[in-house]
Amino acid sequence: MFVEFEMERLQSLYENEVKYNLSDSGNHPLSMNDLMSAEEIKEILNMEIYYGYTTGDPKLLSAIASWYPGEINADNVLVTNGSAEANFLIGWTLVEPGDEVVMVLPNYMQVPGLAKNLGASVKTIRLKESLGWHLDLDELASVVNKKTKLLSICNPSNPTGAVMTDEEMKSIAAIADKHGAYIHSDEVYRGSELDGNETKSFVHFYDRSLISCGLSKSFAHPGLRIGWLVASPKVIQSVWTRKDYTTLCASVISQEIGTKIMTLPTRKKILGRSSKMLRENLVLFQDWVNSHGELFTFVPPRAGGMAFVGYNMNINSTELVHKLRVEQSVLIVPGDCYGMDGYLRFGIGANQDYLAEGLDRVSACIKSLGY
């Protein structure tokens, strides 16, 4: 039976139908006028809309590679249509029927569904709220074995916003290396650390790592649909053969804009903007949580435009989300999408007034339930 991607379907159905969409986990995007000069916009208007490079415009490949200091260059990068395509191509390239995939949960749920649809056996290990949403590394070591083909993580974490330390990444790399497993690291929230201290990429800790990332979250431009995969040149070539069967290439206009975003000083400016917005919005969100007394449990995120909270109400998370949607025109993500009823994911990357008004409506719904 085909596994449906529940969270994406929920958002696809309703995110554009509500007044307050707090289901998104990215930052409020810039406009073309905010991002580019009049001359740059004029150049885009004069562009011929051709196919372009199937692996990515060389200028964009080099700009992306520059965000991974060290030995990474354009040969290590493949441009995709969003990080979702990168995730899909990783699964399609590496995972075969009967393979074992270890998933760190909660996580962006594309990969576990994809692995099951590809015929793999999926084993899970959960981040622990009691550890600040970090892994028990001894438990991980007991789960990964010689049958494990792929270990999939998300760092910084979706939906918790937790960030691994260098030591944790080294330990995870050692566990994978012991059994010759690949590590897939979804790093789409890298660069949006609230303290401004950018976490390192797994590509610098393990030579069998595959990194998916893109412009949708930390870089705040989801509508461009620019993502990428970073891996060894051999893996990139193998993935490219599959990409010929999917989207062929990304939009040349999006790649042109993406090159501007990923080139200094614009890259630094956008990531600095993301971190500042999230720091300020987290204060607002924490005050809102505190205003509800003991109703919520909350470990504040260290990165990413989201907040993952547990709640003490006698109502299913999906039921609560639809009640909010219908009665208050607010959309958030139910914990059910992560297999974690009793939790909710709020997007906190919107403009402050919008976020505050949306949270007021959530409070009104909570009050109507008698809490």
Residue 159: asked if its preceding bond is cis (omega within 30°), the reply is: yes
The CATH H-level superfamily of 6-30+268-368 is: Aspartate Aminotransferase, domain 1 (3.90.1150.10)
Contact predicate 90/213, CB 8 Å: no
Round to whole Å and give the CA distance between 237 and 234: 5
DSSP calls for 189-255: TTT-BTTS-PPPPGGGT-TTEEEEEESSSTT--GGG-EEEEE--HHHHHHHHHHHTTTTSS--HHHH
Look-up of token digits 């990165």:
303
Nearest to 329 by CA among 339, 317, 337, 321: 321
Tens digits of per-residue pLDDT, 2-40?
A: 999 999 999 999 999 999 999 999 999 999 999 999 999
Angle at 162 between CA 160 and CA 163, to 5 degrees: 150
- pLDDT of res. 236: 98
Grade residue 355 by pLDDT with cuts at 50, 70 and 90.
very high
- pLDDT of res. 358: 98
DSSP calls for 297-337: EE---SBSSEEEEEE--SS-HHHHHHHHHHHH-EE-EEGGG
Contact predicate 305/217, CB 8 Å: yes
* Bridge-based pairing state of the strands 330-331 and 20-21: parallel
* 92 SS3 class: helix
User: Tell me, which fold does domain 48-265 have in CATH?
Assistant: Aspartate Aminotransferase; domain 2 (3.40.640)
Grade residue 71 by pLDDT with cuts at 50, 70 and 90.
confident
Whole-model pTM?
0.95
Contacts of 167-175 spanning 24+ positions with Cβ under 8 A: 168/134, 168/135, 168/137, 169/200, 169/202, 169/205, 170/205, 171/137, 172/135, 172/137, 172/140, 172/205, 173/202, 173/205, 173/206, 173/209, 175/137, 175/140, 175/141, 175/144, 175/151
Q: Which amino acid is at 153?
A: I
Q: What are the residue boundaries of the structural domains of the chain, listed by start? A: 6-30+268-368, 48-265
- pLDDT of res. 246: 96
Grade residue 1 by pLDDT with cuts at 50, 70 and 90.
confident
Which whole number is the average pLDDT over 161-176?
A: 98
Round to whole Å and give the CA distance between 360 and 340: 24
Token output for 363: 């409070």
H/E stretch holding 103: strand 100-105
Q: Which amino acid is at 284?
A: L
Which whole number is the average pLDDT over 274-292?
A: 97
Which whole number is the average pLDDT over 332-346?
A: 96
The answer to whether residue 122 scores a pLDDT higher than 90 is yes
Which whole number is the average pLDDT over 192-214?
A: 96
